[in-house]
Amino acid sequence: MVGYQLKLKRLVFLCTLLICGISAGASVANAADVSWSELNDTQRKVLNPLASEWDTLRPWQREKMLDIARDYPKMNADKQALVKERLTNWSRMTPYERENARKRHQQFNALSADKKSELRKKWQEYQKLPESERAKLRAESPDAYTDADLN
């Protein structure tokens, strides 16, 4: 009898978890189905670079953007400026460029910590160069930072 009661309690507990999980998933899905006109003023202000394409974004993309808008007020001014710049750049990319950016990001995340650190250091050094020097380097070796470096 005790074994049966324990099994019954476990079953009730698992059912409760399942129901809560389904409810949480439904609220996330509903949040991702929000049209541009349904966003609040704060969300529209943050996500403005995506206004023209918001209603065509996939649910997972909207969900990511809503997460950014939710966290935006908690960011310092520098981080907010960076987010705005990245959203603007992203909105100007073609679908092909976006897919390549996603792939490169995934490749970068798969690298070892040492390789990531090395690439970040190289990038910081490159960023410190004057634009004329960077243009010269790009012209001399346009494939210097290809996908092969990420493998």
Q: pLDDT, tens digit, for every residue of 103-137?
A: 999 999 999 999 999 999 998 998 898 999 988 88
* CA distances for 146 relative to 37, 107, 143, angstroms: 40, 12, 5
pLDDT at 17: 44
Segment 93-100 shows an average pLDDT of 91
Q: Give residue limits of the domains in the chain.
A: 28-92
Residue with more model confidence, 62 or 30: 62
The helices-and-strands tally (H runs, E runs) of the chain is 7, 0
State pTM to two decimals: 0.61
Measured between its terminal Cα atoms, the distance across the chain in Å is 59
* C-alpha 81: how far from chain center: 16
Question: CA-to-CA distance for 21 and 24, rounded, in angstroms?
Answer: 5
Q: What is the pLDDT of residue 139?
A: 86
